[in-house]
Structure 1
Amino acid sequence: MNVAFLGMAGLLAAAALYWYIGRRAPRPTGAWAMGALLGSLALVFACHAPLGESAGEALVPHLARFLHDCASLTTATALVALALQCNLGTVPARRHIRPRLALLAVTVCAMAALFGYAQMSHGPARAHAPYTLLFASQLGLTAGDFLLQAMRQARSNRRVSVRMGLRTAAAGCVLALVYVAYRLTALVSPDLGVRLAPESSTCSSPVAASCVSGVTSPAPADLLFCLGLVLPAIAYPIGQLRRRRWESRSYEALGALWRDVTGAVPETDLPPPRPADHDSHLLLQRRVTEISDGIRALRPYRSRTVQEAALRIFDTTSEVGNAGVEAAVVYAALTARDAGALPDEVAPPLPAAGPRTDRRADPEWLLLVAAAYAAHPAREAGTRRPEPVEH
């Protein structure tokens, strides 16, 4: 437990220092809120560790619990600040963040005063009820606030990883609200005649109802907060790696069709790319543009007879079948251009080959056409066309 919690605390503290010190100007939106969030989470995990709790108890009784409560409130407020900046923008969000920060400061100061009073007096039980009421009320208010902001942002954000991260953090808010409900119920339980298990580490089982509410739920809530926050940061580079891999493979898969089209219509071959343009996305879009321009230039050579024959062979209810028809027409058009023979009737454009609004749809369509073109029986049996210089 010490290794897990203290290790997580160290990582979060290093990340907080990066957001405070390592980020170059201009700082991104929410940099200070993110730093406060990571730093307070580091303190939360350090207080969860048995070693951290023992060290706090050696200094001042219940110090680790007090620091954990203050860090939890700071974490929740920082989460709300980040959510407000995402939903409203930096400038409009400031008007909403300031009163929340003021409320946090007042609550923490009042809790510190009650904690100090309990340490100096011989009757700490007198401070327990107002302390618990302050902490639970502020945590519940802030957790509910973030839950609303997170769900609102999760519905509108375009990135799947961000939506999943926000929903994961929202699940942590639900556990925090369960914990708040337990603390408030424990506060009034003597008057209600309800007997609850003490909030300590001596629970008989971590899955017992009272232990889940009072002891077990805070740690999973903090873990869900962390997971929800780091999920987009982890998913983004993985998604970018998968995207570049798909683009590189697609670039190579379009090679045969690209060589034949640009070899027959050399005016569609764009100038060699600059060294700065050797990016998988730019290279793929460049190849897609050259193929599309070449196919448009072959329009006078597209034979309607070939198209009708291909329509009888391929199943045009699927994208693969339409790509087979398009590949047969393109191959016949290339052959006709090489021979300088125009068809008797020009083929109309296929509806499936029309323009697409999605930037990935054009490459995917041409990949289907390229696969059908490479498998064309006449091409496999025929001679290769002149190839331009590869770049």
Structure 2
Amino acid sequence: MSGAAPMWLMVPVFVLQALVTLGRWLLVNDTRADELINRALSFSAVCVFSALWDTDLGADGYPSKVFLVCGALALASVYGLAELFDGADSAAVRRRQWAYDLLAVSGAVSLLLGDGLAAPATWWRTTLWVAIFQLPMAAAGVRTVRACLREMPRTRSRLERIAYSALLVTATYWCAAALFAAATSVFDGVAYPTRWTVTSCLVYLFVAMLTAIPLARAFGVRTGLDRTGRELRTLQPLWRDLTTAVPEVVLRPAAGRITEPDSRLYRMVVETRDALQHLRMYMPRDDSGEPGDSNELGIAAYARRIARAVDAKAAGAAPSAERAARENPYAGQDLDAELGYLLELARAWPGAVSEPSRANRR
């Protein structure tokens, strides 16, 4: 067993975990699973604060009592989360969690009756200790390991595989440590926590870093610094000008329906593509007398022709069915390829709309 964690390790771990917890409550609290994670992190933060307040948790003082009750509640949340992760009905999460919380608090308060943590070890206190702390952690570890093994073959993302692997290792450690502690408690008597160990701190830090991954993603989405946000900003000028020229292609979702960045990006791609297809009817012919095609022209030249098509439509030019019948430049492209093409076009768009001859016409 590792020794007591030094203060220089405990304080940064607590500060980091507290910041992650606060950030998750603000930015990552949309699902039942998010709520359970945030509850577990909150109760755990109180436990760590109690350990910082009084490192001798074996004494029957106020910090050790807070540590005991909040630790039981944190484990109840962890088990509820593992159960949900393992496929339990999400509609009944809160009802089940109320029951788990009630059992956790009842057991912890029972251990604090009489002489509390200073009371001598008895068979019922040992049994209650194991039932409140060790068995829920071992069961949560088993269910999490089972869920990871089931989900890992289905995921294609490298980041998700790494996250599942890290969670699998952590859950395995939880299960093994809980079973070892349970066996020790049974054979040696009640083993209340007497210190916050180096191992406990490091595992706690590792779990905090895992739970910070969704927070980093949510922060990127909220600030627009993620990949989707950057693509939205790049595509915005082209999309705005083309949908202004061809307003009939704009999708009209119900209020609040399209708010997620991925949904907005998908909508912008579809609307921009449809506007380009419509504007091909107004596209000027090249020197050979044929309509310009993005496959035959450079992106910059094609952007200039689109700009001229916008002007022609605005001036009331008659559309040409012959030009509209030209080969679809998006044929055979998936959404990623289409998005890449439109992003290239969007980068060339500012130069096309600032073309001197076009500016003079305006």
Provide the TM-score with structure 1 as the length reference.
Answer: 0.56
Structure 1 position 249 matched with structure 2 position 234: yes
Give the Cα–Cα distance (whole angstroms) in 1 for the partners of residues 269 and 126 of structure 2: 70
Question: Any gaps of 5 or more consecutive residues in structure 2?
Answer: 1-5
Aligned match of 1:143 = 141
State the partner residue of 1:40. Answer: 43
1:91 matched residue in structure 2: 91
- Give, in whole Å, the separation in 2 of the partners of 1:58 and 1:96: 33
Letter in 2 for 1:368: E
CA change 1:171–1:235 in 2 (3 A) is farther
Q: Using the alignment, how far apart are the partners of 1:30 and 1:341 within structure 2?
A: 57
Pairwise CA distance, 1:141? 1.7
CA contact (8 A) 1:301 1:333 kept: yes
Q: Deviations over 1:128-157 (max 9, x none)?
A: 864664443332123323444577688889
2:3 matched to 1:5?
no
Output aligned runs, 1:112-261, within 5 Å.
Answer: 112=112, 116=115, 119-121=118-120, 124=121, 130=127, 133-134=130-131, 135-148=133-146, 168=166, 170-184=168-182, 186=184, 215-240=197-222, 241-242=224-225, 243-252=228-237, 254=238
Distance 2:168 2:234 in 1: 38
Equivalent pairs, count: 334
Q: CA RMSD in A?
A: 6.0
SS in 2 for 1:298: helix
Q: 1:154 to 1:82 in 2, by over 3 A?
A: farther
- 2:3 equivalent in structure 1: none
Paired residues of 1:150 and 1:166 also in contact (CA < 8 A):
yes
Counterpart residue identity of residue 383, structure 1:
S
Q: Secondary structure at the match of 1:238?
A: helix
Given that residues 83 and 150 in structure 1 are in contact (C-alpha distance below 8 angstroms), is that contact kept between their aligned partners in structure 2?
no
Label 1:216 to 1:375 Cα distance change in 2 as closer, same or farther (>3 A). same
CA distance in 1, matches of 2:138, 2:270: 54
Q: Which fold has the larger relative contact order, with Cα–Cα distance below 8 Å and residues 6 or more apart in sequence?
A: 2
Distance 1:46 1:120, change over 3 A: same
Closer/same/farther in 2, CA of residues 245 and 151 from structure 1, 3 Å limit: same
User: Structure 2: which amino acid aligns with 1:91?
Assistant: A
In 2, Cα distance between equivalents of 1:102 and 1:57 = 24
Partner of 1:196: none
1:209-229: per-residue Cα shift (whole Å, max 9, x none)? xxxxx9543323322333333
Distance 1:303 1:295 in 2: 16
Q: Rg larger in 1 or in 2?
A: 1
Residue in 2 aligned with 1:384? Answer: 358
Alpha-carbon offset, residue 302 of structure 1: 6.9
CA distance in 2, matches of 1:14, 1:324: 47
Farther-moved stretch of structure 1 (104-113 vs 71-80) = 104-113
State how 1:21-40 maps to structure 2 within 5 Å: 29=32, 33=36, 36-40=39-43
% identical equivalent positions: 11
Residues 188 and 285 of structure 1, relative CA distance in 2, 3 Å threshold: closer
Q: Distance in 1 between matches of 2:268 and 2:360?
A: 20
Q: Aligned partners of 2:294, 2:212: CA distance in 1, in Å?
A: 51
1:30–1:82 Cα contact (<8 Å) kept = yes
Question: Which SS does the other structure have where 1:53 is aligned?
Answer: coil
